[in-house]
Amino acid sequence: MNNKNKGEIGERIAIGELAKFGIDILLPMSDNLPFDFVIFRNNKFYKCQVKSSFQQSSRSSGAIYFSLVSNNWYSKKQKVYTKEDIDIFILCDGNSIYLFPQKDLEGYKSITIRTETPKNNQVKGLTLANTVILSEERLNYVFV
């Protein structure tokens, strides 16, 4: 499975999970935009970028790595998403989705989400999955 296939699967999972919360999705007619789809919620439009990670080895270590950049394979350049490009990052690991307002990841090229607390019980500076996973509480934080 290539990266485009993985990305499309992540988008479909995200749309399905968001639908469970009654969230309306608008799909663009092309894939040449800096966002994957638009959410309409509370009479506002939010440009969303979905990033997927399907690495089994990451999950078994209790952490999931997500790249947050757009890669142009022809020019070999990476693009970091800006607030002009998107409003929301949606990260999909194949089982769950995690939501972030773009401002929370401003300038990041990647993020690691911990699905388990490390053996040394460190939590400072970590992103724990249960704090960013799709929930009504998280939706209220992200969609202000």
The SS3 assignment for 11 reads helix
**pLDDT tens digits for range 94-139:** 889 999 999 999 989 999 999 887 777 777 788 999 999 999 999 9
**pLDDT tens digits for range 15-49:** 999 999 999 999 999 888 999 999 999 999 999 99
Q: Rounded mean pLDDT of the chain?
A: 90
Residues 6+ apart with CB under 8 A from 89: 48, 49, 50, 51, 68, 81, 99, 100, 101, 102, 105
**pLDDT tens digits for range 104-116:** 999 899 999 998 8
How do the domains of the chain map onto residue ranges? Answer: 3-142
CATH 3.40.1350.10 fits 3-142, yes or no: yes
CB neighbours of residue 53 within 10 Å: 20
* C-alpha span between 70 and 4 (Å, rounded): 12
Predicted TM-score (pTM) of this structure: 0.90
DSSP alpha helix (H) spans, 20-97: 56-60
CB of 101 closer than 8 Å to CB of 88 = yes
86: tokens are: 């998107």
